[in-house]
Amino acid sequence: MKATDAHRVGIIRDDRFLEHKTGLIHPEHPNRLKAIHAMLDRDFASGLIHIQADLATMDELELVHTPTYIKKVMKTAEREFTHLAPDTPASNMTYLAAWLAVGGCLKALEALMTGRCDSVFAFVRPPGHHAVEDRALGFCIFNNLGIAARKALQGFSLGRILIVDWDIHHGNGLQQLFYEDPRVLYFSSHYLSSYPATGDWEETGQGDGLGYTINVPIPKNMEDDDIVHCYREILGPVVRRYRPELILVAAGFDAHGADPMGHARLTERAFGRLTRLIMDLREENGRPPVLLALEGGYDLPALAASVHEVLDALLGKAYPGEIQETTTPAGADMAARAARVHAEFGIWTDAAVAEVGAS
C-alpha cells in the first residue's frame, strides 16, 4: 500500500437489512450481516465513517427496473412469506430492505462524490448483481450497484466507471445492464459452471460497448496467488488506460475456501490483497472513489474475516509481514487468455501486449 494523506473509509450499516427474512435453510440469511456487525463492533469500534442509509426514490429505482417489477416487489409487503423467484424468497419487510439496499448504495455514492469519503463499503442485503430490469434472480432483488452506476452517469455526469466483480458467481445482471455501454467497464472473475452459467471469455460487450466487458472464468483449484496475479495483469492496464472516475466492487466472498456455495480455495487474505491492488491503482491514477457493496458469502466466520481484511486494506493498514507478490502459471494463463480475447479492441491491451502475455 502506497502512503496517502488519509484513508477516509465509510460504511453503510443498518439493522433494517436484517428484516429481509428468507426462511430457516436459505443461505442468504440475516445472520450473514449479524456476523459482519459483530466483527465491526469488536474490531472497528472507531476509525470508520458511518453513513446513514436512506430509501431510494422511485425515479432512482427506475434507473434500472421497470415500474411493473418495482410494484411487484412492493406488493410482497402484503404477504408474510412469498417468492420473487424460485431461489429468492421475500418476507413482508423484504421490500423495505431491498429498497434501502439501493438507497444505501446511493448514499454511499453521494459520500464519495462530495469528497466525504475515499471509499465506502455498503453492508447491504439483499445482494444485487444478478437482478435484471424486470426480475429477481439468484437471491438478488434490485441491482444495487447497477443503479449506483446509472446514478453516477446521470446524476453526477461521470463518463467512465469500472465495476470489479469478484463474487464466485457471474454478475449477469450487471453485465446485461452495461453490455452496450462503454461508459461502464465490467470486469468479472467467476466459475463458469456455477449459477448463472454466463460470463464466458467471448462475452465482451456489444455495439458501442464492445470490449468493455471482461470475463475471466476461473479454474476450480485457484488459490490466492493465482487470483492476485491475474487481477494485477488485467486491472493494471485497465485502470491505467481506461482511467475510471469511479470504481465499484461487487464484493462477494463465496470464493473463500470455507464457503458452502463456492467450492473455491481462496483465503480471506486474497480479498485484502485484491483490495490493496485496487487502492494502489487508484492512488496512481487520479484517486477515483471506490464503492464496495456486499454480494455473496455464506460461511459466517469466513465472511466476517474477509470483510475484516478488506477494511484493513481500505484503511491502509500494513500487514504484519510483507506479502510477496508472486506470479503463477494459473494466474498467467487467465490473464493471457483475457488479453488475447481483448487484443482486437485495444481498450486495455493490444495485439503486441497479448503476444507477450501469452508467451
Question: Which residue lies nearer to Zn ion by CB, 14 or 167?
Answer: 167
Size of the site for Zn ion (CB under 5 A): 5
- Catalytic residues, by residue number, are 130
Q: Which of residues 223-252 bind Zn ion (CB under 5 A)?
A: 252
Q: Which of residues 250-289 bind Zn ion (CB under 5 A)?
A: 252, 254
CB of 5 to Zn ion, least distance (A): 35
CB of 289 to Zn ion, least distance (A): 24
Question: Which residue lies nearer to Zn ion by CB, 281 or 304?
Answer: 304
The piece of 12-20, 295-303, 309-317, 334-342 that touches Zn ion (CB under 5 A) is: 295-303
CB of 295 to Zn ion, least distance (A): 6
How far is the C-alpha of 204 from the C-alpha of 186, rounded, in Å? Answer: 9
Q: Which residue is nearest to Zn ion (CB)?
A: 296
How far is the C-alpha of 37 from the C-alpha of 157, rounded, in Å? Answer: 34
Alpha-carbon separation of residue 175 from 37, 183, 184 (angstroms): 30, 13, 10
* Nearest CA-CA partner of 284 in 311, 247, 310, 252: 247
Specify whether the backbone of 288 is left (phi greater than 0), alpha (psi in -120 to 50) or beta: beta
Q: What are phi and psi of 85, to 5 degrees?
A: -150, 160
How far is the C-alpha of 207 from the C-alpha of 210, rounded, in Å? Answer: 5
The piece of 35-43, 164-172, 175-183, 278-286 that touches Zn ion (CB under 5 A) is: 164-172
Candidate list 28, 118, 167, 245; residue touching Zn ion; CB under 5 A: 167
The piece of 91-99, 165-173, 200-208, 329-337 that touches Zn ion (CB under 5 A) is: 165-173
CB of 286 to Zn ion, least distance (A): 30
CB of 218 to Zn ion, least distance (A): 13
How far is the C-alpha of 330 from the C-alpha of 230, rounded, in Å? Answer: 8
* Nearest CA-CA partner of 139 in 125, 150, 151, 153: 125
What is the CB neighbour count within 10 angstroms for residue 193? 8
Binding residues vs Zn ion (CB under 5 A): 167, 169, 252, 254, 296
